[in-house]
């Protein structure tokens, strides 16, 4: 029989007939109170139950507390952005043209799949390695970065001392804002490397090489991807100059970043490893000083001149990796200058397996290092698994520097170390030498 329900008259609806509904589909009866387990019976909470949950911590606003709250390099970047004026922050954070290369480099580390092994003893993780004939406590070093005291007043002194404390190499840039001798004095027990841009004035280049050797640097890293300056558009838009100029825009920017400006204005003016003073744009400086006529013959000259380890930074093809080794290089750095030179350049992480295969076929023991895009310890582990002997970080440590000076660099290295140890333990690998290509699978076309 069909029951018609009259609109607006709910009382007209008859009660449903459940006589023919099977017992299995009948509505469940609420359990009697005696059937409810004691732990599920409601009661008025006691103070003794609430007290352990009411442990309010006193807010902490110190630099150490701020850095401790950062659990990733990205979180250090957030702090750095809040504390640093836009022009120096963008100089660090930005890349060339549309910044496609930088985005692709970071995405390359995300487009992988780790392949862990199980039932391995990972109670102790050994992150130490050997690079260019000497031990390093971690498989990562600090890359050369220019104008570092512009990012934060402690600059190269913070970076070199943090590296010394961590037992890893530190690389001073030709465009560093501290002299070769001052960095050596600041970190006398550290492993200091020197990065060289070959100048059009060879006598000045030779002077730098001699100073680096005298100061105890055991490795010379020549950068070869700066024939001309890249189009770093953030710097153009910000009117970036060396040193930063006090314009109306920068004064307004300083109004809510007073600590940076106070430090900048109350310390010694920026000086450089390679020249005493300079005023102008970064691009003008590069184009006026660096030699666009460099060839492999210049590399031969360097090999004859420098008696320590010679590393070539800026390698972006397998062919060039092989050629620089043939011309005497002890190692290569697969790098596109952090995406700051040629946009849409090859991605070092993608190039890595090809270079490793080529060096294996050539029976060369030249070191393969890699930079660009590293933002976590997992990135470093992936690079080591695919064949890198060592890695270098630039932005990752600079974010720490801008976030908190020397303590911020220490925190960045601590984050990366914990990331690496955890990733390796979860992969079932207890030492760097145990990492192999079987632990990583590249997703997509690569």
The number of beta carbons lying within 10 Å of the beta carbon of residue 28 is 5
CA distance linking residue 315 with residue 294, whole number of Å: 14
Asked whether the beta carbons of 311 and 327 are under 8 A apart, the reply is: no
**Phi-psi label, residue 328: left if phi above 0, alpha if psi -120 to 50, beta otherwise:** left
Residues 6+ positions from 334 with CB-CB distance below 8 Å = 315, 316, 321, 348, 351, 352, 355, 368, 369, 370, 371, 388
Q: Where are the beta strands (DSSP E) in 180-224?
A: 191-196, 219-223
CA distance linking residue 284 with residue 128, whole number of Å: 41
Catalytic site residue from 337, 350, 363, 446: 337
Q: What is the dihedral of CA 312, 318, 324, 325, to 10 degrees?
A: 100
Question: Is 350 tagged catalytic?
Answer: no
Residues 6+ positions from 330 with CB-CB distance below 8 Å = 132, 309, 310, 311, 366, 367
* DSSP, res 432: G
Q: What is the dihedral of CA 335, 339, 345, 346, to 10 degrees?
A: 40
Q: What's the token pair of residue 344?
A: 């849409």
Q: Residues for the chain: how many in total?
A: 446
List, by residue number, the catalytic residues: 337
């Amino acid at each position: 029989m069909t029951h018609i329900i009259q609109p607006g008259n709910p009382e007209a609806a008859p009660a449903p007939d459940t006589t023919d509904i099977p017992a299995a589909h009948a509505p469940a009866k609420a359990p009697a109170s005696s059937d409810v387990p004691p732990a599920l019976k409601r009661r008025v909470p006691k103070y003794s139950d609430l007290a352990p949950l009411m442990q309010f911590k006193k807010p902490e606003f110190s630099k150490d507390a701020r850095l401790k709250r950062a659990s990733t390099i990205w979180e250090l970047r957030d702090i750095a952005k809040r504390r640093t004026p836009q022009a120096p922050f963008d100089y660090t954070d930005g890349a060339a043209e549309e910044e496609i290369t930088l985005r692709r480099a970071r995405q390359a580390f995300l487009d992988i799949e780790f392949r862990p092994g199980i039932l391995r003893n990972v109670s102790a993780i050994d992150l130490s390695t050997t690079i260019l004939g000497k031990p390093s406590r971690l498989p990562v070093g600090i890359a050369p970065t220019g104008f570092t005291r512009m990012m934060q007043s402690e600059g190269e002194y913070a970076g070199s001392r943090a590296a010394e404390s961590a037992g890893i190499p530190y690389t001073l840039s030709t465009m560093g804002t501290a002299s070769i001798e001052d960095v050596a004095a600041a970190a006398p027990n550290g492993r200091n490397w020197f990065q060289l841009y070959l100048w059009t004035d060879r006598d000045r280049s030779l002077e730098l090489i001699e100073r680096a050797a005298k100061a105890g640097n055991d490795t010379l890293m020549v950068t070869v991807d700066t024939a001309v300056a890249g189009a770093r558009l953030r710097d153009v838009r910000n009117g970036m100059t060396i040193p930063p100029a006090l314009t109306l825009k920068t004064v307004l920017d300083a109004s809510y970043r007073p600590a940076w400006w106070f430090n900048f204005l109350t310390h010694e003016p920026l000086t450089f490893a390679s020249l005493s003073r300079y005023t102008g744009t970064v691009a003008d400086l590069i184009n006026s000083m660096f030699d666009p006529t460099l060839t492999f013959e210049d590399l031969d000259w360097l090999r004859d001149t420098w008696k320590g380890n010679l590393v070539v930074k800026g390698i972006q093809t397998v062919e060039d990796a092989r050629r620089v080794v043939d011309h005497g290089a002890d190692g290569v750095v697969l790098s596109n200058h952090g995406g700051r030179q040629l946009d849409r350049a090859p991605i070092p992480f993608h190039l890595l397996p090809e270079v490793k295969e080529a060096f294996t076929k050539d029976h060369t023991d030249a070191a393969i290092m890699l930079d660009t895009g590293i933002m976590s310890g997992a990135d470093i582990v992936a690079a080591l698994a695919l064949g890198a002997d060592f890695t270098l970080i630039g932005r990752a440590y600079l974010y720490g520097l801008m976030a908190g000076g020397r303590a911020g660099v220490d925190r960045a290295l601590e984050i990366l170390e914990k990331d690496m140890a955890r990733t390796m333990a979860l992969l079932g690998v207890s030492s760097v030498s145990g990492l192999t290509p079987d632990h990583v699978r590249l997703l997509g076309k690569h």
